[in-house]
């Protein structure tokens, strides 16, 4: 279960990197005074990214040290990551459902399959980490 959680977390992170790079490349960091400002606040985007990366590091340390407190710490961080992710998804959804165009916000150009896979794998990672922290499927 521990390794499955690690793999799910890494694949989820790869999808997150794609989304972050695409958002930045399409102008996600440009000043709000521009014609089509982003609806995704940069502190939330980067908070989601940094917390997810920190939680992954803690999970890797847990795998090496096998300390239950680290598994629960990873789970707690992952809950915060999920809450930020739901916030971002909630702000992205109306933009995605709007009309496309040159003045569309940067997040309008995020690939829907990657967004969906990132969310589903993120949820799976959360469940796998919880199950591992509870000792389900342990060796």
Q: Is the pLDDT of residue 84 over 90?
A: yes
Q: Residue 76: inside a domain, yes or no?
A: yes
What range defines the domain where residue 23 resides?
2-28+39-134
Q: Assign 117 a pLDDT band (cuts: 50, 70, 90).
A: very high
Number of domains in the chain: 1
Whether 139 is covered by a domain: the verdict is no
Please check whether residue 118 lies inside any domain of the structure: yes
What's the whole-model pTM score?
0.90
User: Residue 102's pLDDT is what?
Assistant: 57
Per-residue confidence (pLDDT) for residue 33, from 0 to 100: 59
Residue 34 lies in a domain: no
How far apart CA 39 and CA 91 sit, in angstroms, is 6
**What's the CA gap between 136 and 29, in Å, rounded?**
42
Handedness of CA 83, 84, 87, 93 (dihedral sign): negative
């Amino acid at each position: 279960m521990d390794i499955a959680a690690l793999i799910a977390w890494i694949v989820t992170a790869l999808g997150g990197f794609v989304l972050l790079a695409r958002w930045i490349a399409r102008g996600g960091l440009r000043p709000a005074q521009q014609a089509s400002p982003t609806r995704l606040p940069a502190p939330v985007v980067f908070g989601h990214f940094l917390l997810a990366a920190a939680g992954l590091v803690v999970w890797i340390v847990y795998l090496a040290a096998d300390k239950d407190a680290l598994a629960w710490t990873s789970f707690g961080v992952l809950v915060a990551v999920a809450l930020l992710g739901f916030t971002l998804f909630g702000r992205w959804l109306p933009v995605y459902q709007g009309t496309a165009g040159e003045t569309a916000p940067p997040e309008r150009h995020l690939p829907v399959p990657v967004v969906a896979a990132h969310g589903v794998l993120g949820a799976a990672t959360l469940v796998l980490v919880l199950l591992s922290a509870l000792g389900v499927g342990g060796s």
